[in-house]
Amino acid sequence: MNGIAPATRIDSIRRSLVSLKMPRALEILDATLRRIEQGQIDGIEALDELLGEELSLRENRRIKAALRMARLPVVKTLAGYDFSFQPSLDRNRILALAGLDFIERAEVVHLLGPPGTGKSHIATALAVEAVRAGKAVYFIPLADLIAQLAKAEREGTLREKIRFLTRASLLVVDEIGYLPVTPGGANLFFQLVNARYEKGAMILTSNRGFAEWGEVFGDPVVATALLDRLLHHAVVIQVEGSSYRMREHAALVPENVRNGATFHPPQPKRRGRPPTKGKSDHEYG
């Protein structure tokens, strides 16, 4: 190595890498110098390799931290989704969503279908793609979201909580319709949706068709107001088929459950503005 640079110069490089907090470059420095000695690479290639390895480490750390902040329950990818199990699903349409243009357009992606058909997997995979692209993402089941909003309302911090939830470029709300919405929860969710309307993208997963949202949220007026905004700039994808999780035990499950008989497809027509019914126009309009 002395033929390349004096030991004092190499020590100086090491100290600089420590000061610059470049652990990966420091880790591979000796091996890189040996490759220069052996004529495998030149100085420019060595510098490019050191910087490339360091940048790769930092990017992996950024993604790991961003995934934690996104509160994803698990990390899933589209490569891990079994499209062959759901042949009715347009694979190219899902892959087009992975281009993330819907985030730039502040659109809402609805993934609708029976339980176990992969809606949450797709939503999570799209969220992971957004994180990798440097987008701020927040993932939360509807029941947890409403619980957080209700707690903030009780503590007098609802405005700050909604402001926090509108900062994410992509908000993923999972499991709409799985659990009953607590009293007042529909109104709180509406306030959040209204704050994000035409400003931030969302992905919503639900096992209930839009016609059932009045029942889901316990208030047809608020449900209509929600749909008025959530369907204005929207991509609706219906995931049909049997449950992937129950595929190995399908024979033990009643046919109406396997086929998702409780799921009703969404109505194609967009909902209009809700009737007032005592509510002011600015509250739900």
Q: What is the pLDDT of residues 246-260, one digit of tens each?
A: 454 444 445 554 555
Positions of E strands within 81-150 = 108-112, 137-141
pLDDT below 50 — which residues of the chain?
A: 1-3, 246, 248-253, 257, 261-263, 265, 267-285
DSSP secondary structure code for residue 17 in this structure = H
CA distances from 173 to 20, 94, 97, 135 (A): 40, 18, 17, 16
Query: What is the pLDDT, as a whole number, of residue 85?
Result: 85
Q: What is the pLDDT of residue 127?
A: 98
pLDDT at position 254: 53
Q: What pLDDT shows up at residue 255?
A: 54
pLDDT of residue 84: 87
| Strand 234-238 to 201-206 pairing | unpaired
pLDDT of residue 5: 60
What six digits make up the tokens of 187?
Answer: 């109104």
Q: Which amino acid is at 84?
A: S
Whole-prediction pTM:
0.78
Which domains, ranges and CATH numbers included, belong to the chain?
10-70 (no CATH), 78-238 (3.40.50.300)
